Amino acid sequence: MITQNKDIRNTISVSEIVDCVQTKMYGETPEKIIMMFDSLSKDQFNDYFRILSVPFLFHKTESIFKSEKEPKTLFVDALNELMNATSDAVNSTHINSLLLNSFENNAGENFVDEVKSHTGQHYGNLFKEFNYKSYFEEAKNLLETRLRKNDIEIANIENLVLLDQGCGGGRYTTAWKLLGVNKAVGIDFSDLGLSDAKSRIVLAGIDDIEFVKGSVLDMPFEDETFDIVYSNGVLHHTEDWKKGIKEQLRVLKSGGIGWQYLIESPGGIFWDSIEILRAIMKDVNKKYAQEVLRSLGIPMNRVFYMLDHVMVPINTRLTSEQIIEELEKNGACNIRRLSRGTDFDRVEAIYNKIPFAKEKFGIGENRFIFSKI
């Protein structure tokens, strides 16, 4: 298994990044395609083709997920198609002449080295481009659907104070306020994300939301401060997810409600494809990648979906058992893994027993709701 909390920027061997290279789940093809991209020069011209591999492979895997055919063979075929198409394009004199002038003075943004600052910068750049519908309406609808489909009812929500642990651009902090909490507080380390979040709620005229700068691994709050502590896809990007869970339970009131989402292992083709792309994209400038995808006419919420895990420094995947063990260790009780989701959630596909669900999605998202002793 991949080393947990491993910063992709410090990796040497592809086997450190890509689980399926270790397991040979798809034979030698994943390693071959990674090595092919790695053999290309580290410059903007070749990075352009690295970036194009992201929408290509996302499109191919999504087609595989809709198909009723055996998915592993289809996935290997998609990887080979990507490898052959990229090799042909890179070596095409015609394409070279069209693209060479596109890369002058377009180096993108320089990113800091520190993991939490780098991660905050990555997500800050992604979140700030969200339009009103994606920022406010989409997040509220996603949260509402996940609560409803899992029969989660929160009593006296109008009296509760919520913490969004790792709020990014504040989408879900705002979503909880729109769902009726008395007050919502978001904490994040990204100046860019927090600035964007604050300006959006001012423009929208939404009260009783506060944004605080700080680390999710060492939060500036007293013990048992919040009625709800919501952590949604954050701690798997930190240097110490276990410390993040300890902090979550520390600031949660006894009898309060906790929500924790951490990415899953095993994750099927869905996560195998992302790990392959992480290896391909690990040295590409993040801002440049965003600009290229936007130039292709891809909507910003879709760009976020594609680059979210592909380009963040740390992307730890965990089993359900590992997460439950850590929650219990820190005082969680009544732990429940959510089995339903939105129409595009992987657990929903598993719940609906689509063909080859395990091969496609592994166990689905590790979303938990729990209380505190």
Per residue in 156-183, pLDDT (tens digit) is 999 999 999 999 889 999 999 999 999 9
What pLDDT sits at residue 124?
Answer: 47
202 and 149 co-located in one domain = yes
126 and 245 co-located in one domain = yes
61, 75 Cβ separation under 8 angstroms: yes
Per residue in 95-147, pLDDT (tens digit) is 555 454 554 445 555 655 565 555 555 444 444 455 554 567 888 999 999 99
150 and 23 co-located in one domain = no
| Token pair listed for 265 | 């292992």
Share of the chain above pLDDT 70, in %: 86
Residue 1 domain flag = no
Residue 168 domain flag = yes
Q: What is the mean pLDDT of the chain?
A: 89
Q: How far apart are CA 331 and CA 223, in angstroms?
A: 13
137 and 220 co-located in one domain = yes
Residue 66 domain flag = yes
Per residue in 145-159, pLDDT (tens digit) is 999 999 999 999 999
250 and 275 co-located in one domain = no
Residue 111 domain flag = no
Residue 2 domain flag = no
CATH number assigned to the domain comprising residue 205: 3.40.50.150
Q: How far apart are CA 350 and CA 267, in angstroms?
A: 12
* AA letter at 81: E
Domain ranges, residue 33? 13-106+270-310
100 and 192 co-located in one domain = no
Out of 256, 280, 310, a domain closes at 310
Q: Rounded to 10 degrees, what is the CA torsion of 345, 348, 349, 354?
A: -170
Total domains in the chain come to 2
Q: How far apart are CA 232 and CA 235, in angstroms?
A: 8
What average pLDDT does range 319-345 have in this prediction? 97
pTM across the whole model:
0.86
Q: How far apart are CA 295 and CA 287, in angstroms?
A: 12
| Token pair listed for 200 | 């959006």
What pLDDT sits at residue 10?
Answer: 75
80 and 196 co-located in one domain = no
Backbone angles phi, psi at 95, to 5 degrees: -65, -40
pLDDT range class, residue 228, cuts 50, 70, 90: very high
Residue 323 domain flag = yes
357 and 300 co-located in one domain = no
pLDDT range class, residue 8, cuts 50, 70, 90: confident
237 and 293 co-located in one domain = no
